[in-house]
Amino acid sequence: MHPGDSRPHLFWQLRTRKLALGQRTLLMAILNLTPDSFSGDGLLGGEERLQGHAPHPLDPGPKALERAVAAAVKAVDAGADIVDLGAESTRPQATPVSSKQEQARILPVLDRLLRERPDAVVSVDTYHAATAQAAARHGAEIINDVSGLQWDPLMPQAVAQSGCGLVLMHTRGRPGEWGSLPKLHSHQLVPLVLEGLCERLAQAEAAGIRSQRMVIDPGLGFGKRGRENFDLLAGLGRLHALGRPLLVGLSRKSFLGEVVHPLQSGAATIREARRIATVAGNVTAILAGAHILRVHDLQDGREAAAVADAVLERRLEPRAAAES
């Protein structure tokens, strides 16, 4: 990587294909197959539950399934490079979900999406080894593990055997512990994340997961409290020292709300209250070298990426001219 570059050009080897990263920002569309997403966009909180006819916990219900599949297809058709299916909320008060229930929510949507859009690149957001194995058998290309292979001892081997690409996230503790974690000084956070991700990468490689299959995620909001996340966002470029592509997911997160809420008046949904802050954060992340954004609002993400990518392109032109 040339010192003048802010985003190295790399590739990501998935289960059956390879993604080129760095030329433009790729977008991972979030599909929350839950009734309890932190931002209110869970796709399994639908008519059956509202009418008092909630299905069995292992049955998402036909209307909810149709709604989820339609949202997934819409995301692909609207330009999502990756669709990320998740079936468990990671907000601190969320109800834990078993691997069996997780698969009951995810696999029908995954199957239908790949039937209707066979070329879709699908990621499954899970820390359960059994879910990762099942998802790969059903056609998933990527496993997105928010625990960084820490919450299920069988996960490293499961991912290695699946051949899937891996999103390796940094987190401090589990969601129920985040509120009681000790605060970090501004100079501590980036070194902590660097060290943690370095350890996780080594663990993954020792399990047989090749480095070309891994993308790193600094885990904004995952065990980082409030404005600590801005320390991490400001130092994002330092994570390129690990030599792997960088995925950033800050969409609608509470640390954004903390800084914009004093500027707002009146009631608003989380989606609306944090929409512009999310766009600003995403532009910041791209200019610091993020290769992939994980987003709720795909069109907002596309426009943010178009502007930031244009800036990155202009940064490189003077150097290219000087070297020609």
Under a CB-based contact definition with an 8 Å cutoff, are residues 121 and 79 in contact?
A: no
By CB atoms closer than 10 A (0-12, 13-18, 19+), residue 302 is: middle
Asked if 314 is an active-site residue, the reply is no
Q: How far is CA 115 from CA 7, 110, 119, 122, 276, in A?
A: 35, 9, 9, 12, 35
Stated as kind and residue range, the H or E segment containing 103 is helix 99-116
- Rounded to whole angstroms, the Cα distance separating 17 from 19 reads 7
Relative to beta strand 10-13, strand 18-21 is: antiparallel
- Rounded to whole angstroms, the Cα distance separating 251 from 83 reads 15
Q: What is the DSSP letter of 24?
A: S
- Rounded to whole angstroms, the Cα distance separating 226 from 62 reads 39
- Rounded to whole angstroms, the Cα distance separating 219 from 94 reads 18
Under a CB-based contact definition with an 8 Å cutoff, are residues 255 and 281 in contact?
A: no
Relative to beta strand 122-125, strand 247-248 is: unpaired
- Rounded to whole angstroms, the Cα distance separating 222 from 177 reads 10
Q: Read off φ and ψ for residue 265, nearest 5 degrees.
A: -135, 145
Which entry of 24, 225, 253, 274 is annotated as an active-site residue? 253
Asked if 115 is an active-site residue, the reply is no
Which entry of 200, 244, 274, 294 is annotated as an active-site residue? 294
Residue type, 225: R
Q: Read off φ and ψ for residue 244, nearest 5 degrees.
A: -120, 155
Under a CB-based contact definition with an 8 Å cutoff, are residues 305 and 81 in contact?
A: no
Under a CB-based contact definition with an 8 Å cutoff, are residues 194 and 241 in contact?
A: yes
Catalytic (active-site) positions: 253, 294
